[in-house]
Amino acid sequence: MRGRYFRAILADRVGDVLAPPGPARAGRYHRPGQPALYMSPDGAWARIAVSGYMREDGRPRVIVPLELGEARVFDQRDESVCALLGIDRERSNVPWRPELAAGREPPSWRNADSARALGADGIIDRSRHIPGGWHVTLFRWNQPGAPTVAVAGTAFPAILSDSEQHSG
């Protein structure tokens, strides 16, 4: 896959839009210390993906357009391929933060581990909030043998709609 994608990021970190998370940060598809770059094929989808965090912490985000070079990603939308490889795509729908807070490994990490073991550059995640929507998480980028990612436009504010401000 390749093309235009969008990444939501804290407004005060826009200069780090292509940087991996800090060494103590974890996410749906990465353990602390693992690189991960989360993005969406639509700017509105990127905003929706972080709307819960925006409601929670009240910190402003921006959406940054990115250009992704050719990347090989594992597509969890393909139920038959997931079944063939023994990947339970429903593990990715389990809320990861409560699992981590309870001292358990988020089930989505196993799916990311499987995709990494297959040599994938990243993983496609089915959206839990957007019917038919999806997001991409890269495991590697902008290094030898990895896909390229570049900023491809000016960042714009991520503004929650009235319904997004009050939904949970």
Q: What is the pLDDT along the chain (168 residues), one digit of tens a residue?
A: 999 999 999 999 999 999 999 999 999 999 999 999 999 999 999 999 999 999 999 999 999 999 999 999 999 999 999 999 999 999 999 999 999 999 999 999 999 999 999 999 999 999 998 999 999 999 999 999 999 999 999 999 999 877 666 555
Geometric angle at alpha carbon 84, from 4 and 93, rounded to 5°: 55
List C-alpha distances in Å: 96 to 12, 85, 91.
Answer: 25, 22, 9
Q: Taking Cα atoms as reference points, which of 86, 78, 84 lies closest to residue 123?
A: 78
Query: What is the 3-class SS of 130-145, one letter each residue?
Result: CCCCEEEEECCCCCCC
pLDDT given at position 82: 96
Strands, E assignment, 11-110? 37-39, 61-68, 73-75
pLDDT given at position 20: 96
pLDDT given at position 165: 60
List C-alpha distances in Å: 109 to 17, 78, 83, 130, 161.
Answer: 22, 18, 17, 22, 31
Q: In what order do the strands lie in the sheet with 37-39?
A: 37-39, 134-138, 122-126, 73-75
d(C-alpha 21, C-alpha 16), whole Å: 9
d(C-alpha 85, C-alpha 91), whole Å: 14
Q: Which residue has the tokens 């994608």?
A: 5
Q: Taking Cα atoms as reference points, which of 18, 22, 13, 31 lies closest to residue 158?
A: 13
List C-alpha distances in Å: 98 to 46, 59, 67, 133.
Answer: 22, 21, 33, 23
Which helix (H) or strand (E) element contains residue 151? strand 149-151
